[in-house]
Chain A
Amino acid sequence: MIGADAIVKCLEKEGVTTLFGYPGVAICPFFNSILNTKIESVLVRSEQNAAHAASGYARVTGKVGVCVATSGPGATNLITGIATAYADSIPLVCITGQVDSHLLGSDVFQEADITGAAESFVKYSYLVKHVSEIPRIMKEAFHIASTGRKGPVLIDVPIDIQNKTIRDFKYPESVNMRTYKPTVKGHAVQLKKVNTELARAKKPLILAGGGVILSGAVRELNDFSHRYQIPVVSTMMGIGAMASDDSLYYGMIGNNGKSYANLAMQESDLLIVIGARIADRAISSPDLVAKDTVLIHIDVDPAEIGKNVGPTIPIVGDIKNIFADLAKENVACDFSDWTSHLDAYRKQEKARRQPRSGFVDPTKFITELSLKMADNAVYVADVGQNQMWSCGYYVAKAGKFLTSGGMGTMGYSIPAAIGAKKADPKRQVVAVCGDGSFQMSMNELATMMQHDIPIKIIVFNNGYLGLVREYQHNTYKGNYSMVDLSGSPDLSLIAAAYGIPYQKLENNKGMGSIIDSFLKAKGPYMLECVLDPMDTVK
């Protein structure tokens, strides 16, 4: 058995069935070994998308996503995907080939210091120096990626190490790391304070972030909210934690969120932040929150607590555990005045957008699409105006809403949708992107055709990098720079070139039936929607 075989064996031990990758000489021993297993390797068309696909896979399965690339440019291409996963705390194990260990540091062909370059985007990284370390490193990597605050772990393996013979392969049963023991159980004294504050509060509010979903605590959140009738708002990453039609859900907060969600934030006297970073896009001036509001911040990462806002009651631990502990006690409370107050705000919300007729109204489209989608469908939003519209008008049921929230990486949706579909082929998976983000990863259409991963793609075509155009319109008085996408290809021809069924929706007429046929089609499908080039988010 050689090192490459050992890596593959470790992947099998971890229950990996699919990985996403791109070869090169430095990782060839690995891709040779993988042929002897049942693990399926999906060949992407650019390494960045291997990481995005692994991310989509991880978010649907709840398991660690695996991506593999070669040394040098293969590895550096991965970085954006790794950083995207890091920003959204998605568990990945990323394996890169590396030049011969004796040549490290001498700038030979396709050498890149990838552990150094990726340092600030990974939870941890390894450069394997001895073949005997492989089992321990692999075990640790999967453990680190999937516990505590989840995130990507990078393993860089020189080609000579992959080829070296390993004696006595034994996969460790457990991890023994003196420096890594994440706190998963909330402190009892702190948890008591939550119930005390709840009994005292008049206007409590839960802000649910992506951590709720990552911790697998969606049901627990819903139970907790319903038990005491506490209203819930969410961040972008928290979309899907509660169903849109839940009477206690008051939408996404932030610049592009619902006005009543933001009002609820301002007026609440007890804000329970769960698994959210409270970054600048969610709350424009985080210091404002804590002034006279009692703030409880629950997060598995102690460093998030107090980073952007100073909490009154910090609680470190895994959200699912914490909900379980909170459920042990019962608090007498009645927040019906508060919820009816918020309901009144919700009723007053007026549509701010006034779209011109003659084009597809993306907000109407997204509402219809998500209503018609299967209950457990996966909706992958890209980045740009399409993401803002998706956040605002996606109707959450029991499915998943995936997007690149923290990093805002354009081109995320198609590869992530491929990963999601691969993870659960029976589920409906729809990628929604703009003409800009589509062109950042349309090379992956080949991946989807080659491996028979039939995702559905919506392209909102407005001929512009719309969100930047909108920003330039507002900030630079309409002096547009670098946002005109003239020269884009005819999407019907692109679809035909890949053999993908295609349809075009020119305006709102016939929207419903076209969505129906789009969703009903067995294989992959591309639907282009023609948007008003001057359409805006607000």
Chain B
Amino acid sequence: MKRLYSILVENRSGVLAKVSGLFARRCFNIDSLAVGETDDPAVSCITIVSSGEKGTLEQIEKQLNKKIDVIKIKTFSAEESISRELMLVKVKYTKSNRREIMEICEILDAKIVDMSKNIMMIQICDTPEKTALLLQMLGNIAITEVARTGTLALQKCSLSD
């Protein structure tokens, strides 16, 4: 089972280490992790996607709540949220596959944001499934580098209205 945790924390040094350390120590999975400041510079938001059994997923929330730097936790399933991931991919291209790459990008709503003689950089900002699909579709083509943000998610508006 997958679960998303949107964790508001005090924006202090060492807090990310405390939160990620908790996952390591208690053998909780981190499928992805993203962190950044919120509208309040004193507060950061850590978004963690985790997977495990129901009891484990509950423990994650309880243990996070015990951390004194944690202000608030919202947890939701993928269906209850809008999630996005930003990914940059560098691929080696040749004359013969350039067209194919552009088509894949067009179909998946990805952008070519930079290129040189032999390499191009593709950007996608979409659901984690879509970014994974792009990687899969580019699989036959020589990928040289990948960087992704991890999932960012917020609960659907209708659920928090």
Q: Report which A residues bind B (CB closer than 8 A).
A: 115-116, 119-120, 123-124, 127, 144, 177-180, 301-303, 306-307, 310
Contacts and interface: CB of A to CB of B under 8 A. Distances in A.
Given A119-B21, A302-B62, 20 more contacts: A115-B14, A116-B14, A119-B18, A120-B22, A127-B14, A144-B68, A177-B68, A178-B71, A180-B68, A302-B65, A303-B59, A303-B62, A303-B63, A303-B65, A303-B66, A306-B55, A306-B58, A306-B62, A307-B62, A310-B55
B25 interface: yes
Contacts of A307: 59, 62
Contacts of B65: 302-303
9 contacts: A119-B17, A119-B18, A119-B21, A123-B68, A144-B68, A177-B68, A179-B68, A179-B71, A306-B59
Contacts of A120: 21-22, 25
Contacts of B58: 306
Interface in B13-54: 14, 17-18, 21-22, 25
Nearest to A123: B68
Contacts of A123: 68
A302 B61 CA distance: 10
Considering residues A120, A177, A179, A302, which has the most beta carbons from chain B within 10 angstroms of its beta carbon? A179
Contacts of B62: 302-303, 306-307
Contacts of A180: 68
A179 B10 contact: yes
Contacts of B152: none
Contacts of A178: 71
Contacts of A127: 14
A119 B70 CA distance: 15
A301 B55 contact: no
B17 A116 contact: yes
A115 B15 CA distance: 12
B69 interface: yes
B10 to A, nearest CB: 7
Nearest to B18: A119
A179 B66 contact: no
Nearest to A178: B71
Nearest to B60: A303
Considering residues B18, B59, B70, B71, which has the most beta carbons from chain A within 10 angstroms of its beta carbon? B18
A117 to B, nearest CB: 11
Contacts of A179: 10, 68-71
A180 B70 CA distance: 9
A303 B26 CA distance: 12
Nearest to A153: B68
Interface string B65-85: 110111100000000000000
Contacts of B66: 301, 303
A116 B70 CA distance: 17
A115 B55 CA distance: 30
Contacts of B68: 123-124, 144, 177, 179-180
Contacts of A119: 17-18, 21
A127 B14 CA distance: 10
Interface in B71-108: 71
Interface in B113-144: none
A178 B9 CA distance: 11
A310 B55 CA distance: 9
B16 to A, nearest CB: 12
Contacts of B17: 116, 119
Nearest to A115: B14
B43 to A, nearest CB: 10
Nearest to B62: A303
A130 B32 CA distance: 35
A161 to B, nearest CB: 15
Contacts of B21: 119-120
Considering residues A120, A127, A144, A177, which has the most beta carbons from chain B within 10 angstroms of its beta carbon? A120
Nearest to A301: B66
A459 to B, nearest CB: 36
A251 to B, nearest CB: 30
A177 B10 CA distance: 11
Contacts of A115: 14
Contacts of A301: 66
A178 B22 CA distance: 21
A218 B161 CA distance: 47
B60 to A, nearest CB: 10
Contacts of B70: 179
A179 B71 CA distance: 5
A168 to B, nearest CB: 24
A120 B17 CA distance: 11
B138 to A, nearest CB: 39
A119 B69 CA distance: 13
A179 B42 CA distance: 13
Nearest to B72: A179
Contacts of A116: 14, 17
A178 B43 CA distance: 12
Nearest to B69: A179
Nearest to B70: A179
A57 to B, nearest CB: 24
Nearest to B25: A120
A123 B65 CA distance: 12
A274 to B, nearest CB: 19
A5 B65 CA distance: 34
A44 to B, nearest CB: 29
B61 to A, nearest CB: 9
A123 B59 CA distance: 17
B52 to A, nearest CB: 14
B20 to A, nearest CB: 11
B71 to A, nearest CB: 5
A178 to B, nearest CB: 6
A307 B70 CA distance: 20
Contacts of B63: 303
A196 B8 CA distance: 39
A303 B25 CA distance: 15
A306 B55 CA distance: 8
Nearest to A303: B62
The 7 closest A-B pairs by CB, nearest first: A303-B62, A124-B68, A120-B25, A180-B68, A179-B71, A303-B63, A302-B62
